[in-house]
Amino acid sequence: MEKEFGRYRIKNAQDMQQRVDAYFRACDTNMETRLVGTGMNAAIMTVPEPKTYTWTGLALAVGLTSRTALLNYYNRDEYHEVLLEAKMRIKDQWEGKLARLGNNSGVIFNLTNSQDAEDTWSNKQDVNLGGQPDNPVKVESQLSIEQLRKIKEVLGNGPV
């Protein structure tokens, strides 16, 4: 195969689709060997352990050496639909983790910092506390809505 952006040249959108599908299959069918059980009942077993989908993992799987190289393909008309669907599948998995994980910091970081023009993820709230209508005070999300209501009442603007 000829070299291009990464290790191997991607011939066309169909070739890209095959590589993307292979990446998702590999993640879904991943197996890990681990110690299962304790004491005398402990045994080394190979168990299913699906891998989390990532944009970087996808880039490596299709033969590229950076996320930027994959974004270059994403921005090309021929490959856009294939990679848009892959990107949405990756985001779907990460969004699903928000509902399941006890510590969401990493998931929130990923969703907040992997934005595109069509995304609107944010970790901030815009709240107008009596300032200009088109110039709200930006408040970090550490304050609860109830705390913000109390602040507004104290400032004399009445209940929210």
Q: How far is CA 121 from the centre of its chain?
A: 10
Lowest mean pLDDT among 23-37, 67-81, 87-101: 87-101
Residue 140 lies in a domain: yes
Q: What is the pLDDT of residue 94?
A: 83
The answer to whether position 67 is within a domain reads yes
Query: Within 10 Å of residue 149's Cβ, how many Cβ atoms?
Result: 13
Q: Are 79 and 128 in the same domain?
A: no
E strands present in the chain: 31-36, 43-48, 124-127, 137-140
Expressed in percent and rounded to 5, the helix, strand and coil fractions of the chain are: 50, 10, 40
5: helix, strand or coil: coil
**Is 114 part of any domain?**
no
Verify that 82 and 130 share a domain, yes or no. Answer: no
Residue 65 forms part of a structural domain: yes
Q: Is the pLDDT of residue 61 over 70?
A: yes
Query: Is the pLDDT reported for residue 150 higher than 70?
Result: yes
Q: Is the pLDDT at 3 greater than 50, yes or no?
A: no
Beta bridge partners of 46: 33
Domain count, the chain: 2
Residue-number span of the structural domain to which 145 is assigned: 124-154
What letters, b where the CB count within 10 A reaches 16 and e where it falls short, cover 102-127? eeeeebbebbeebeeeeeeeeeeeeb
